[in-house]
Every structure is written in C-alpha cells, then in structure tokens.
Chain A
Amino acid sequence: MSAIEHGFMGRMLWVDLTTKSIRTTPLDAEEVLFWGGPAGLNAKLAYELIPAGADPLGPDNTLIIGNGAFVGTTVPAASRPVISAKSPQTRLYATSSPGHFGTMLKMAGYDYLIVGGRAERPVFLKLIDDDVTIEDAGQLWGRDVYETTDELWLRYPGSWVGCIGPAAENLTVYGSIIFNKYSVAASTGLGTVMGSKNLKAVVARGTKSVRVADPTRFMRLAHETHVEVMSGPHIAEWRELGTLIQHQSSVPGAASQMDRVGFDMDAWIELYRTKLHKGPLASPQCPVGCKAMLELHGKQFPITCPNGTLTLPFALYRGTPPARYVEIAECAQLCNRLGLSTLVVSQLIGLSIELWEKGAIGPEMTGGLVLEPGNPAVMKQLIEDIAYRRTALGDALASHLDDCLARLGEEAAKYPIHKGVLASIDERLTWTEEKRWDVHTFSQRVDPRGPVAENAYISLAWIPDRSEAQIRRYLAKIGVPEEDINQIATGGTDGYDLAKLTRWVEYYNLVLSNVGSCQRSFISKALPLQRIVELYRTATGLDVSADDLLLTAERALVMERLFNLREGLTREVEIGGTSHVRPEQVDQLNHLLDEYYAYHGWTRDGVPTRDTVRRLGLERYAPVPRSVIA
C-alpha cells in the first residue's frame, strides 16, 4: 500500500501523551478508498484504539481528528474535520464537526491527529509544519478560552487554536473544544476528553499545500458550486441573521415554540440586528458567512450559531423580559469562555428551575441562590457553578446525567433520558398529544451520538409539510434510486416513508462529513451527490462512483453502530426515556424502529446481520462475538 498523494496530505500524526512519543504514519490510498474519509475511518480507528468498556476519562480513550478530501481546497466551506472519541456524556461513540481547524491541520501536513494517553501535567500540542512538540501548559490551565487563545496567538502568530476552558478541565462531562474562540465541537464532551488527558490546547500553523489530481477540472467544479451557492435565494439573510433565519422564514413550528415559552422573537431579532450584530464571520473557505461578530459592552466577540448557541438555549428558560435580552448574549458568551455546550447547559438550567419550582431542590443545593425563572443573572451564576463544579447543584449538573438525576432526587428521576442526554429539547418543547414522530425527532433517536441538536443527521431541508414534488427532487439529488424515491414519497403512514427517508439522508450527510463539507442547506443544495463524486474523483484521482461513496457512508454508520453495540447499545437504549410521550406514540416509535433497522439490514435489536457485515467488508473490523452478530 502507498500513501495517498492527492486531496489528502498522506500523513497521520500520532501523539501519546503518556510516553510523549510523536510519530507519523502514511495514510494509505486503499484505506481512503475503503472508508471514503473521516466519517468512517474515525469510527474504525476508535473501534480499534479504544478498548471495549474503556473509561472515557481515562488514558485509554483516544481523541481522533480526521480530515476529508475537500478540506483545504476551494470547495465552499469545506473546512470541517471530524473529531471523535468515546463520549463521557453518552458513554457511546462521540463525534462532532466544527467548521474550523481542518484546513490548518492539512496545511501543517496532516490529514489526521490522533492523541492517546494522559499527560502528567497540563500540556498543549504545537504543530508548526514538521515541528511537533508537547509543550508545558501550566500557565494556561485554569484560564478561559479567550485568554488561552489570545496567549497562544501571541506566541504563535498566524496560528489556529483549539482549546478547552475551565469546564472541561474540571471534567464537566459536556465540555467543548473551541476553535479560534468561536467554532465549537460542542456536544458529546470532546473537550472533556482533552481535559481528562491534561491537554489544554492544540495549536497549528503550516506552509504546506493541498494538491489535487486534476486541478483544472476540480477548480471548475468548485467554481460552479460557489456560483450555485451564491445564487441561492436567501444568502443575504443568512449573512445577516445566520441560523436565526429559521425564525424568519419557513420553519413551521418555530414561532409557536417561542410563543409557548413567552419569548418575543421580534424584539430579539430587532436587538440582534441593531445592537448585537456587527458583521458576518465566515468559516474557512465559506463565501456566505453565516457566523457573526457580535458586540457586547463595546467589545466584539465571535459566535458560530446565532440560533443554536445564542438564542434558542437561553430563550427557552423562560419568561426573560425583553429589556433583559442583552443578557442572553452574555450567557452565550460566558459558555464560550468557559468551554461549555450551550444547548446541554441550558437544558440542565431549565431542569433545575423546574425542580426548584416543584420544591424538589432548595437553597441547600444551590448555595443560597434562588432559581427564579426568566432571570439571566441566575443563569449566569448556574453556568459558572457548573463549569467550576461549585455548590451541590453545580457539581451534580456537571456529572453524567444518570449520576446527576440520582443526586437531584425522586422528582428528577422522572425526567426522560436518552443516551445520556435529557430527551431532546425539541421534543420536550414541541411534544403534544397529537404529535407523531417526524424526521427531526426520529433521526435524533437513532443518531449514534445521542439527541444532540448540533449536526443532526436530518438536514433542515427536511421540515414538515414539504410537497411530494420537493421530496422527490431532493431525494434524486442525494442519490436515492427511483424505486426508493417512489416508496418514500408515497409510502408510510404519514404521507412518506419516514424510516427509509431517514436512512438515505443519513447516508448523504455522512458523505458530506466524509469529504469535510459544511451541512448547512445553502451549501449542501449546491452539492448533489453526482457533483460530490466528480469533485472527489478530480481531487483524489480515485476511481469512485456514487454507489461507492454511498457504500462508504453505510460503512461509517455501521462502524459507529458496532462501536456502540460493544459499549452496550440495545434497542431499549435506542428508544430511551419516553415518560413525556403517550403509549401510542411509543408504539409508533417501535414500529418506525423495526422498519428503520430492517431497511439497514439490521436485526430487530439493531445489530447488523452477518450478511450486512459481510456485504460491507467489515468482518475484519468488527470482531464482535458470534452471539452478537445474528
């Protein structure tokens, strides 16, 4: 086998923090051909490198950062590495794709950075081209994300920095990695894995080049993609409002969600437009710029997702008066500084306030803090208590959810848990007696990473009430065969076959993940599967077809599942807590799960059958006991 030369750098960098060894190995072309990219290869490496049942906060856990073929090229917004490990939050496979860092990792000369072991003392990793060293981080430990990034930028001008904040240092299980102060690997606790390894930061800078096999044809295809992206209908709105756009346009249910929690979205958007928003910020290589520079108290700060990390979490809990909305931005900034997933934190703050109102927890747990709803000052205090594990409540909320709810008492134990996370924020907010499972809620149930809102497999294109013609057009674009298109568009009990739809969109999004592409709708709409295939062929020189790329996506999904099965995933775990839904809705979920598993070639327990494993060529990577492979 030989190292791949085009589309990739052909090198993997391995660092063992226990033995302080640093080495590189080639990234083999055959490996790339088999897995397609980091969506699958990360899962395979995690399966091989992380022993079954490993403590996610122990030295055996391994942090894997992998790049796809388009990262570091002119394909719009293709700058997303895939970061994986075993999650301290879900205790299953963790993965997240920040819109950053991948490009500079490649420029330094590496497709992959794999970090194992545990340093004796706080360290950071410095990757300046071939100069890779483990540096003392004693002076950085304890400092927040902004301070740490500033210090490392000062020491290494022009570098890109990914670091953790105090929350991950203190092993709060959902600590984030934050890149250049704004781009986040948020959910599943990947920052906490760094914290457990005493790894404060990774700094990269490089002078190398990404070479593609056929530069002229590749550039022509990338150019056409750009033109299509920028000709899209809502680009100016995306640039001004970022992900807040969904509250403006056509997302059914968004407004009613906000009404239910008494949030004045018009007032918030007005504040956002006129006071907070200072200009667009772009992921590397992105011509749209849906991220934002905001201004608070005369100082600017960057933010990645004005809806998911700013508005939604802190709007939800609850009844904050419009006059105090600016403090919502302060809450989000505080989470960024401390390195916390805003979505998880806000769910737990909501839980705490509800438990307080029910009298289930009192001042003896909060250090005297009164948990009144709608008071951002309370939220800020709780965020700090969680990050620094102060007070009995803060320490409980920073722990694994099983442990947390046990410590918060009987009332807390009634809350539905799904894969180590409170059953999704959307479900708890939007669930009604009449509601049926939809693409959003169902895909979160089967997501190997748990119900994380960030990076959900189903794209925003799949919101309810799309016409059949729209569904058909979309499915053709993402490579679904005609027969399946007919079945999805006309089958099922809701006017479309939800289980089969979920399967195909999973594949498409894993293809995007495999090449390092952004999954935002304005980018993916310009990347039909056939164009991805042509870009991939001209980038790598590998002779792949659409079917080949779909097969790599299926391998990735099955490999993630094999990892999770080895960690104890069962059908019961997949279904998770259902105390908030009616028995009929649980029946519908079970029915959907049966269909979804069958379409994938998995057993009723969600285990890939022997035939499926063989068809995917995964026998050698999946040495699960014979009793498990049906």
Chain B
Amino acid sequence: MALLPENVTVVIHDARTGFEIVPELCTGCGLCQLTCTHVKQRAFSLAGAYIAIERVGSEESFVPTFTDDCDSCGVCINYCGYEAIRLPGQHRSWFVRARELRGSAARETPA
C-alpha cells in the first residue's frame, strides 16, 4: 500500500521560495509551522511561523503559503510527512525517506 497518492490534481509553484505546494495533500497538522519556529526562533509557535496554513472555507482542507520572511531554508519540507510542500524533483520528506530506509535517516537531525 502506498503512503502517498500517485496522482494529484493541483500543484502550485511558489516562485519566491521555489517550493511546490500541493493543497490536497495538506492535513493541517501544523508540524511545518512548529519546526519552522523551532529553527528560526527556538520556540514552537503556529502564528509565528514563516509558513501559514489557511483553512479553505468551512472544510478541513488547507492551503500552505509562505510569508515574506521565509528564507527558503526548507526545514518545513523535511517535516511534512504528507509531502504537501516539497522541492520540485526532489520531494521526499525526511519521514518518507526514513520509512524507506527503515530508520537510517535518524542521524539527520536538524540543528
């Protein structure tokens, strides 16, 4: 059974960061935001993150967007287990890779 769907319908190319956003894969878990603020501010916050997760209407569906402060460090990509944010052509999150490598990615911890 595949962890991620093979096909998605909408991929947004964020010109400033160079990242890809796939709204239909975002579950709104907020890990990207907490990781971002850990790296940038040494604290865990949702509102203070350089990535915002906007709810679409009244649904539990979300669109990630990057704020002007984002410096494209990409730590959020590493922590998105759903690959809703990714780098073109190289879009494996640490977790998805770890799954395949059966834990060998454990050495790659963030600063």
Check B44 against A209 for contact (C-beta < 8 Å).
yes
Contact with B along A110-146 (1 / 0, CB 8 A): 0000000000000000000000000000000000001
> Taking the complex as formed, is A237 at the interface, i.e. its CB lies under 8 A from any CB of chain B?
yes
**Chain A nearest Cβ from B52, distance in angstroms:** 9
Residues in chain B near residue A287, CB distance under 8 A? 29, 31, 79, 81-82, 95
Is residue B16 contacting chain A, with contact meaning CB distance below 8 A? Answer: no
Give the docked Cα–Cα distance between A439 and B58 (Å). Answer: 41
Selected contact of B60 from candidates A181, A220, A224, CB within 8 Å: A181
Q: A216-B111, A231-B102 are in contact. Are A279 and B24 (CB under 8 A)?
A: yes
- CB of B17 within 8 A of chain A? no
Q: Once the chains are docked, how many angstroms separate the CA of A220 from the CA of B98?
A: 15
* Inter-subunit contact B30/A219 (CB<8 Å): no
Rounded to whole angstroms, the CA-CA distance of A220 and B35 in the bound complex is 12
What 0/1 readout, one digit per residue, does chain A (335-348) give for beta carbons within 8 Å of chain B? 00000000000000
Interface residues of B in 9-51 (CB under 8 A from A): 24-25, 27-31, 34-35, 37-38, 41-48
Is there an interface contact between B42 and A215, defined as CB atoms closer than 8 Å? yes
Closest to B101 in A: A231
Closest CB-CB distance, A180 to chain B, in whole Å? Answer: 7
* Complex Cα–Cα for A216 and B39 (A): 9
Q: Is the CB of A289 within 8 A of B30?
A: no
CB neighbours of A280 from chain B (8 A): 27, 82
Interface string of A203-225 (1 = CB under 8 A from B): 00011111110011001100110
Tell me whether A54 is interfacial, beta carbon within 8 Å: no
Contact (Cβ within 8 A) A209 B1? no
Say yes or no: is B73 at the interface (Cβ < 8 Å to chain A).
no
Q: At the interface, is chain B mostly helix, strand, loop or mixed?
A: loop
Q: Produce 1/0 per residue, B70-101, CB < 8 A to A.
A: 00000000010110000000000011101101
Residues of A close to B54: CB separation below 8 A: 158
A227 touching B110, Cβ below 8 Å: no
B105 touches which one: A211, A227, A293 (CB < 8 A)? A227
Q: Do B47 and A107 touch (CB < 8 A)?
A: yes
- Say yes or no: A207 contacts B45, CB within 8 Å: yes
Of the residues A283, A285, A289, contact of B82 by C-beta under 8 Å: A289
Q: Which of A72, A182, A235, A239 contacts B44 (CB 8 A)?
A: A72
Give chain A interface residues in 271-300, CB to chain B under 8 Å.
279-289, 293, 300
Residue contact A237 to B99, C-beta cutoff 8 Å: no
Contact B106 A230 (CB under 8 A): no
Instruction: Indicate if the CB atoms of B103 and A215 lie closer than 8 Å.
Output: no
Interchain nearest-CB distance for A31 vs B (Å)? 22
Kindly state the separation between the CA atoms of A237 and B94 in the bound complex, as whole angstroms.
Answer: 19
Q: For the complex, is B59 an interface residue (Cβ under 8 Å from A)?
A: yes
Chain B residues near A226: list those with CB within 8 A: 79, 81, 94-95, 98
Residues of A close to B7: CB separation below 8 A: none
- Chain A: interface residue total (CB-CB under 8 A): 54
Give the residues in chain B near A211, CB-CB below 8 Å. Answer: 42-44
- A73-B48 in contact (CB<8A): no
Shortest Cβ gap from A81 to chain B (Å): 15
Q: Is A236's beta carbon under 8 Å from chain B?
A: yes
Given A103-B30, A230-B96, do A293 and B47 touch, yes or no (CB 8 Å)? no
Known contacts being A74-B79, A231-B99, A231-B102, is A219 close to B38, with CB within 8 Å? yes
Candidate in A150, A206, A279, A302 with the most chain B CB atoms within 10 angstroms:
A279
Residue A385 CB within 8 A of the other chain: no
B82 touching A227, Cβ below 8 Å: no
A283-B29, A286-B29, A287-B81 given; A103·B110 CB < 8 A: no
Chain B residues with CB under 8 Å of A215's CB are 38, 42-43
B38: min CB distance to chain A, Å: 6
Closest to A77 in B: B29
**Is A240's beta carbon under 8 Å from chain B?**
yes
B3 & A209 in contact (Cβ 8 Å cutoff)? no
Asked if B43 and A210 sit within 8 Å, CB to CB, the answer is yes
Q: Are B45 and A281 in contact (CB under 8 A)?
A: no
Task: Choose from A146, A157, A282 the contact partner of B27 (Cβ within 8 Å).
Answer: A282
The CA of A622 and the CA of B25, in the complex, are separated in Å by 50
User: Chain B's nearest CB lies how many Å from the CB of A385?
Assistant: 28
For A146, list chain B residues within 8 Å (CB): 58
| Chain A residues near B99 (CB-CB < 8 A) | 230-231, 235
* CA A285 to CA B1, docked complex, whole Å: 23
Pair B60/A228 contact, Cβ less than 8 Å? no
CA separation between A400 and B17, bound complex, in Å?
A: 58
Which residues of chain B have C-beta atoms less than 8 A from A223's C-beta? Answer: 94, 106, 109-110
**29 A-B interface contacts by CB (under 8 A):** A72-B44, A73-B34, A73-B44, A74-B35, A146-B58, A150-B58, A153-B58, A181-B60, A209-B45, A209-B48, A210-B43, A210-B45, A212-B43, A215-B42, A224-B106, A227-B95, A230-B99, A231-B99, A231-B103, A237-B1, A239-B3, A240-B1, A279-B27, A281-B27, A282-B29, A284-B28, A287-B82, A287-B95, A300-B60
Closest 4 CB pairs of A and B: A287-B81, A209-B43, A282-B27, A282-B29
| 12 further interface pairs, Cβ-Cβ under 8 Å (given A282-B27, A287-B31) | A74-B34, A158-B55, A207-B48, A210-B43, A211-B44, A226-B79, A227-B106, A231-B102, A279-B27, A282-B29, A284-B30, A289-B82
Q: Enumerate chain B interface residues (CB-CB to A < 8 A).
A: 1-3, 5, 24-25, 27-31, 34-35, 37-38, 41-48, 54-55, 58-61, 79, 81-82, 94-96, 98-99, 101-103, 105-106, 109-111
